[in-house]
Structure 1
Amino acid sequence: MADKRAERIAELIAPLRVPPGTRVDLARDFDPRYKAHLKKRQGRELLRTGVELLAEYQARLAAQNTYGVLFCLQALDAGGKDGTIRHVMSGMNPQGVQVSSFKVPSVEELDHDYLWRYAHHLPARGDIAVFNRSHYEEVLVVRVHPDVLDRQRLPPETRGKKLWKRRFRQINDWERYLTENGITVVKLFLNLSKDEQRTRFLQRIDRPEKNWKFSAADVRERRFWDDYQRAFSRMLSETSTPWAPWYVIPADRKWFARICASAVLVHTLMELDPQYPTIGERAREDLLTARRELEEQTPEGTPDDPPPRSRTEG
């Protein structure tokens, strides 16, 4: 990663990474208003650079067709998941990106193990999959609301105090399995302050074009704020691993959250460093033969064909 851009990106996201094995306390360890001494004007340029780099590396990822990338987004309501996806993915080829939003499980999904429905949406090689909420709902919402766990109809012997520790281990093992089979796992938690969430809820109520985004259930869920903070802290502590670390994104400033999300994904792709496939001598000869045949078909009086464009020219 000799590229200077890569060094700047790595420096920006280093404070956001949760070191594996550390005990996290969200209120103590991560500030939702952190912005790395950047100004919003600088942020626009950085986001533009990130979007351009994502487009470049996505093309290489698809051409190499060896790795898939799973991009997991977790946040409380109004945390900015949808906006992050919209802005960060704006320059990417939609053919290679699949976004899955996980809501209340269906009857069919509840008839399977809790990871079953997520496994159906994993990326193919060369693709990027985005989980808007993810398998981590199973140690967040399910933990804060035990009645949800009842609907999963687990065998009685699997319930009890050890359930959550077992789920953390199972998720870590599953993610390790994915990475060992060529699916890189990127995990972002959009860390929103309680006061900023209140402000965003009020905006959704006061602005007619945002009314559809608000539900009375959002306010009811807000009553469990402290429970969620404890659940998120435990999740980050138990599941930030060397093969699938967590990044805590300061989410009170939307512009900075989008820069950070873009930087984490770019950093991940740069570390993978996918390459365009090269062709052998025989294949090269076939290309030259095809080119000569096409040149022979040039109508009389047509100007000479222009030289081939470089990749940077599109």
Structure 2
Amino acid sequence: MTAYRGRFAPSPTGPLHAGSLVAALASWLDARAHGGRWLVRMEDVDTPRCIPGADTTILAQLAACHLLPDEPPQWQSKRGALYQAALGRLVRTRKAYPCACSRKDIEDALAAQGRPRVRGQEAPYPGTCRSGLHGRPARAWRLRVPEGVVRWTDRRLGPQQQDVATEVGDFVLRRADGLWAYQLAVVVDDADEGITHVVRGEDLADNTPRQLVLQRALGLGAPAYLHTPLVLAADGEKLSKQNGAMPLDLRDPLAAMNAAAAVLGLPGQATSLPDALAAWVRHWPFLQSPGD
């Protein structure tokens, strides 16, 4: 049986907040409950959004909460050669192709097909460049998504499915600005680091089918997925850095961790933080998948 390897992969666009601490704690507890290893990866591939020094702050926040990685942290910004090699494999096997479309081109094409963009939703790619660029310069690279429904079982949410070809279309692997797309980076990183279990926030659940499609295209195995409950802001939206989430107040780390544990359905602990973590490992409910 493959040894458990999990990870927490924050974006250094600011300090951790209450929502990101829930994901960090859940991934750490799942690793410890399975007797596995826990890694930290800085997802800084979207460099314009990253804040200098935020990665150092995040690592210090994790340390204050006694969430220490078992191996040195990794930074996506240093792993471009791996992403280039993966894209090269996809191009050679004709599973990836160049795209000349701007965002407006995609919206115009969808409108011409009678599929106007829904506000707040990502527009599915209509396949304009699948048959070639027709003299236009390439802007991005896309994965050629096969037809068919992708099915998987989330360890908390249960059976899931999505028709990626219809609902998303051929998604971007390398962006028009030259930056690597999140989907390619995370799939390559998880495979390279031998990640067997991914524990992350429920807002990322809809990324899973795209990552499964890409894993299959690259001939990679898929980790087991568990998506945790979200911490909501006062307006009912997901708490995030984009909507002004406050950085964690770690003057009392145990209080912050008790709040995160409560979101995960774990009992509060009035003891020391190491004792609280040990108790939560014992109470961790996700040692089996739904239906096992």
Task: State whether TM-score is above 0.5.
Answer: no
More helix by share: 1
More strand by share: 2
Q: Output the TM-score relative to the length of structure 2.
A: 0.28
Q: Output the TM-score relative to the length of structure 1.
A: 0.27
Larger Rg over CA atoms: 1
